[in-house]
């Protein structure tokens, strides 16, 4: 009998949390702009750029100076990645930081940016990213933690039109003499970037 009551209480709590979440989403989607109301220039108006936070509640992306642009990748459906930094750390790895922005007309999910590994929990991540040392003819894959998860942005789904989100990926560091690499993601053109210390 107590198990049944506990189950009912848990269901009630989940239903309440879902209702509150839905109310917040609906409130956030409303807005007092008249760009879509048929006013002058409504057909040419672009949605404002919004920054969203990771859904997975993890540590998120390392801080990067988003005003600095060292590279840009423009892909299909209006998806743009702006690269802010590629930093060599003393721990023997390189961290790539940037921002993904949806300039398209529909929500974006990064399913095509993941690697082919089956043990990854997040289906929407940038685990398929690579760094390529063209001179040394070497390709570096995203690092993994002890659980096999990528050291990169995960939970990258439902990026609405006009929204942006910080991204990052960590790779093994190329030799110290390598200062230029190509950052690559599936479905996107590569971007040549400089590694800084």
pLDDT digits (tens, 9 = 90+) for 103-114: 999 999 888 888
CB atoms under 10 Å from CB of 9, counted, come to 10
Q: Confidence class of residue 124 from pLDDT cuts 50, 70 and 90?
A: confident
Residues 6+ apart with CB under 8 A from 173: 88, 89, 92, 93, 94
* Token pair 């949806």: residue: 102
pLDDT given for residue 118 in this prediction: 56
Residue 123's pLDDT is 66
Instruction: Say what percent of the chain tops pLDDT 90.
Output: 43
- Cα torsion angle, 105, 51, 13, 123, sign: positive
Rounded-to-integer distance, Cα 163 and Cα 127, Å? 21
The SS3 assignment for 111 reads: helix
Residue 41: left if φ>0, alpha if ψ -120 to 50, beta else—which one? left
- Is residue 128 over pLDDT 80? yes
The helix (run of H) or strand (run of E) holding residue 21 is helix 2-29
Query: Does the structure show a pLDDT above 70 at 35?
Result: no
Question: Which residue intervals of the chain are DSSP H helices?
Answer: 2-29
- Evaluated on CA atoms 104, 107, 111, 114, the torsion sign reads positive
Specify the pLDDT at position 38.
Answer: 43
pLDDT at 183 over 90: yes
pLDDT band at 178 (very low <50, low <70, confident <90, very high): very high
- Is the pLDDT confidence value at 48 over 50? no
Task: Supply φ then ψ for residue 135, to 5 degrees.
Answer: -65, -45
Residue 14: the pLDDT is 45
Alpha carbons 131 and 170: distance in angstroms, whole number: 10
More confident residue, 97 or 15: 97
Burial of 44 (0-12, 13-18, 19+ CB in 10 A): exposed
Q: Which residues of 89-121 are buried (b: 16+ CB within 10 A; e: fewer)?
A: eeeeebbbbbbbbbbbeeebebeebbbeeeebe
Joined tokens for residue 59: 């540590």
**pTM, entire model:** 0.65
């Amino acid at each position: 009998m107590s198990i049944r009551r506990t189950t009912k209480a848990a269901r009630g709590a989940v239903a309440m949390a879902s209702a509150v979440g839905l109310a917040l989403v609906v409130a956030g989607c409303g807005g007092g702009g008249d760009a879509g109301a048929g006013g002058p220039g409504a057909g040419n108006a672009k949605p404002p750029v919004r920054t969203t936070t990771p859904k997975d509640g993890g540590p998120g992306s390392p801080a990067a100076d988003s005003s600095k642009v060292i590279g840009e990748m423009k892909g299909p459906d209006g998806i743009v990645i702006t690269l802010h930094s590629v930093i060599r750390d003393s721990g023997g790895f390189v961290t790539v930081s940037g921002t993904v922005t949806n300039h398209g007309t529909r929500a974006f999910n990064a399913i095509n940016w993941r690697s082919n590994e089956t043990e990854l929990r997040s289906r929407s991540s940038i685990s398929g990213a690579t760094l390529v040392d063209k001179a040394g003819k070497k390709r570096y894959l995203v690092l993994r933690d002890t659980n096999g998860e990528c050291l990169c942005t995960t939970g990258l789904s439902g990026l609405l039109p006009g929204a942006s989100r910080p991204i990052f990926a960590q790779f093994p560091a190329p030799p110290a003499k390598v200062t230029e690499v190509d950052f690559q993601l599936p479905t996107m053109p590569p971007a040549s970037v400089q590694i800084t210390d």
